[in-house]
Structure 1
Amino acid sequence: MDGKKCSVWMFLPLVFTLFTSAGLWIVYFIAVEDDKIFPLNSEERKPGAKHAPYISIAGDEAPASCVFSQVMNMAAFLALVVAVLRFIQLKPKVLNPWLNISGLVALCLASFGMTLLGNFQPSFNVADEGAFLDCFSPDFILMGQGIHMYAARIQWGLVMCFLSYFGTFAVEFRHYRYEIVCSEYQENFLSFSETLSEASEYQTDQV
């Protein structure tokens, strides 16, 4: 295989990262423009109708909530696809399968957390659960201490790091091809994971 030839699957993590990042920042700017939240560069949270710029609060009310729901649902789907493909890619290579399984479970929980954030914005408790499944534990520590502006900034920073991490899978997928093979006869049938694992074995990983 030509080392310069890249698989189209490498664009999936990049689309996920760019689409989700752009969508979340659009939600943020809509909420700031509507005076629903303070800007992230505010020195402190002042009393009034506005809130600290947490992601779930930024997407809590229309019109920002409409964009937020769509972005999070699409992001959850794309993240789940990337997680499954990464699991299949590593399945024939890892010595300890539990590490691979744990990674898949963690990414599935993160995807589920995205759906909770996207579809239950008015319910703060449910949104909190979704945020926790999206790995915002340090953020909750600051929230509990009432340091809301710093907590909001850390939340945005963690989300951007999380999305950037997914974007690095483009390097891992650049020489892999995934195929689904269907067979009418049972004796020739290969499971979905076995088929994709075998189809990805042609990877040369040349630079």
Structure 2
Amino acid sequence: MNPFLIPRRPWTRQCMLPLGARPGLGTAAGNWQRLQEAAGGLPVPGPATLGNQPRLSGDAACCRVTPRLDRPKPLVFSAMWVWALLPILLVLWGTVGFWLVYAMAVANGSVNVTVVFPYISTCGSDPPQSCIFGQVMNVGSFLVVWISYLRFQQVRDWGCPCALNTAGLVLGLLCALGASVVANFQQNNQLETHLFGVFLAFVVGIVYFWVQAALTQQVKPRHGGGWLGPARFCLCATGTALLVAMCALHGLGLKSEAAICEWALTQSLFLLFGLFAEDFRHIESCCVRLQGRAPSPALELGAASTQTLAL
């Protein structure tokens, strides 16, 4: 007796007849009736449809149902310009959101620019603009996480040193965490926690882009032309100078000048993120694949035994 495998997936049929036996007579007809009953409604070729099949050697007639093991195709995004839009979206979102918060703070009298020019956090401390400020920072932190991970994968595929690239990924995630902390802990409520988030967003963010500037020089081949590396280096130097000037001016009590440096530093960071659009323009596709744990041999054996029916 030959086994009959009950399929659980899309399947194909391979029918074999004994040498010298004619379709529709004797063994083939009896087996066809039993196969139809055991298949439980699945289509089984009858004796009439087997008349044109070639004669094959064998001891008995059988119909073997073989599962077709089609692997699920990974989800692939092939539009190259989509990934270049992520850094541009971050720049537009952050710039428009911060200046909107500033306009609302000036309009409702939360800040008085004739006395002192406000910090960004000062503009977003009081409602209702604090709600918009928090939303802008939270969405921006999510975009930073996504951009940092894409950049990490891109540099790794180009074969750059994994240690420096991994350090860049960690720094990018810490910068995103700092932006989220700034958004959710306003300076009027939790000043210490707010300042910790500012440190992660500004100081760690500048260090992150210095790492990216170093990786740009090590990428072979270089994408985006020869201007990308010097532009990233100049913006990193400008951001570093603005960060030092902001801390020094704040320590000297020059609050308006320190606030102006903070606004300029924020725009420098946005421009550095915007430069990733040129890098991401060369991403051909992004593959998202979910892999499940492979079943143990004992489970596979048990599953196979439950699918076997002797004729």
Sort the TM-score into its range (normalised by shorter chain): 0.7 to 0.9
Q: Which has the higher contact order (CA 8 A, sep 6+)?
A: 1
- Structure 1 Cα separation of the partners of residues 180 and 201 of structure 2: 10
Q: Which amino acid aligns with 1:131?
A: V
Q: 2:254 is matched with which residue?
A: 147
Q: Which amino acid aligns with 2:193?
A: V
TM-score by length of structure 2 reads 0.52
- Structure 1 Cα separation of the partners of residues 249 and 197 of structure 2: 17
Distance 1:180 1:63, change over 3 A: same
- Cα deviation, residue 130, structure 1: 1.1
Percent identity, aligned pairs only, is: 33
Where do 1:1-207 residues align within 5 Å? 6-39=80-113, 46=115, 52-121=117-186, 122=188, 123-135=190-202, 137-138=243-244, 139-176=246-283, 177-184=285-292, 186=294
For 1:155-193, what per-residue CA distance to the aligned partner results, in whole angstroms no more than 9, with x for missing partners? 000101101111111111113121112345649xxxxxx
- Structure 2 Cα separation of the partners of residues 38 and 102 of structure 1: 42
- Structure 1 Cα separation of the partners of residues 125 and 101 of structure 2: 10
Q: Partner of 1:10: helix, strand, or coil? A: helix
- Structure 1 Cα separation of the partners of residues 261 and 159 of structure 2: 33
Structure with greater helix share of residues: 1
Q: Which amino acid aligns with 1:110?
A: C
Q: Which amino acid aligns with 2:178?
A: G
Distance 1:19 1:120, change over 3 A: same
Q: 1:197 is matched with which residue?
A: none
- Cα deviation, residue 154, structure 1: 0.5
Q: Partner of 1:61: helix, strand, or coil? A: coil
Distance 1:94 1:36, change over 3 A: farther
Unpaired runs of 5+ residues, structure 1, are: 188-207
Q: Which amino acid aligns with 1:171?
A: E
TM-score by length of structure 1 reads 0.77
Q: Partner of 1:91: helix, strand, or coil? A: helix
- Structure 2 Cα separation of the partners of residues 66 and 20 of structure 1: 14
For 1:78-120, what per-residue CA distance to the aligned partner results, in whole angstroms no more than 9, with x for missing partners? 1111001100110132442222122212211111111111011
Q: Greater CA radius of gyration, 1 or 2?
A: 2
For 1:103-152, what per-residue CA distance to the aligned partner results, in whole angstroms no more than 9, with x for missing partners? 21221111111111101113222211111112254223321211110110
User: More deviation in 73-82 or 84-93?
Assistant: 84-93
Q: Which amino acid aligns with 2:164?
A: L
- Structure 2 Cα separation of the partners of residues 141 and 132 of structure 1: 15
- Structure 1 Cα separation of the partners of residues 106 and 194 of structure 2: 20
Contact 1:56–1:127 (CA<8 Å) still a contact in 2?
no
Contact 1:116–1:126 (CA<8 Å) still a contact in 2?
yes
Q: 1:200 is matched with which residue?
A: none
For 1:35-72, what per-residue CA distance to the aligned partner results, in whole angstroms no more than 9, with x for missing partners? 22243xx5xxx3xxxx6411111100001101000000
For 1:3-56, what per-residue CA distance to the aligned partner results, in whole angstroms no more than 9, with x for missing partners? xx84311111111110111101100111111222243xx5xxx3xxxx641111
Structure with greater strand share of residues: 2
- Structure 1 Cα separation of the partners of residues 185 and 177 of structure 2: 12
- Structure 1 Cα separation of the partners of residues 292 and 195 of structure 2: 47
